[in-house]
Structure 1
Amino acid sequence: MSGSVEVRQFLLRQDGGGQLSGVGGLPGQRSGHADAPRVSDDQVRRARIAVASGAQDAEDCAQLLDMLGLTPDDEGNTPVQR
């Protein structure tokens, strides 16, 4: 991404205007068990930042977020947290 303002603005709109910070602490792979820990809001935020840092532009970022289940639905819930 190399500091693309367009991608950062897109990500801020998706994240509700939150602050961009360092990347790290991405969610690990789920085991599929009912007692498995859920993906936290902070993990989703950090994953979105990681996706944005590798995206070529805002359209690429939007497609990647959608494919990874990181785009919130009409109720504000992300598929990755279900």
Structure 2
Amino acid sequence: MSGSLEVRQFLLRYEGEAAGGYAGGVPSQRTGNAEASRISDDQARRARLAVARSADGVEDCAQLLEMLGLIPDDDGQSPVQR
């Protein structure tokens, strides 16, 4: 569903930018170090894109992003990044 206009519009709402330019890749595994366990903005963006590409639709994408803690709060930070 990577070409879906609905999914791209959904991502624009949460990313504030176009979903183009996906370079691929998977976030690195977390370690025991508290600072190293935080994921970067780029890793969160790539994770959102991976979820969007795998989702069956907008509702599925929203549910998956919420379950994974990838939807930014009012401060613009995802729960997975805290």
TM-score range, shorter chain: 0.7 to 0.9
So what's the TM-score if we normalise by structure 1?
Answer: 0.84
So what's the TM-score if we normalise by structure 2?
Answer: 0.84
- AA matched with 1:12: L
What does the per-residue CA deviation read over 1:20-51, in whole Å, with 9 as the maximum and x for residues that have no partner? 22252321232242242531111111111100
Task: Quote the Cα distance in structure 2 between the aligned partners of 1:18 and 1:4.
Answer: 13
**Consecutive unaligned residues in structure 1, runs of 5 or more:** none
Percentage of identical aligned residues: 65
2:28 maps to: 28
How many residues are aligned here? 82
Q: Counterparts in 2 of 1:10-29, with a 5 A limit?
A: 10-29=10-29
Structure 1 residues 31, 9: CA separation in 2 closer, same or farther (over 3 Å shift)? same
| Contact 1:23/1:49, CA 8 A, preserved across alignment | no
Task: Quote the Cα distance in structure 2 between the aligned partners of 1:66 and 1:26.
Answer: 19
Deviation at 1:70, TM superposition (A): 0.5
Task: Quote the Cα distance in structure 2 between the aligned partners of 1:52 and 1:23.
Answer: 14
| Structure 1 residue ranges (4+ consecutive) displaced by more than 6 angstroms after TM superposition | none
| Contact 2:8/2:18, CA 8 A, preserved across alignment | no
Task: Quote the Cα distance in structure 2 between the aligned partners of 1:15 and 1:35.
Answer: 24
1:43 maps to: 43
**Consecutive unaligned residues in structure 2, runs of 5 or more:** none
Aligned-residue RMSD, C-alpha: 1.7
DSSP-derived class of the 1:18 partner:
coil
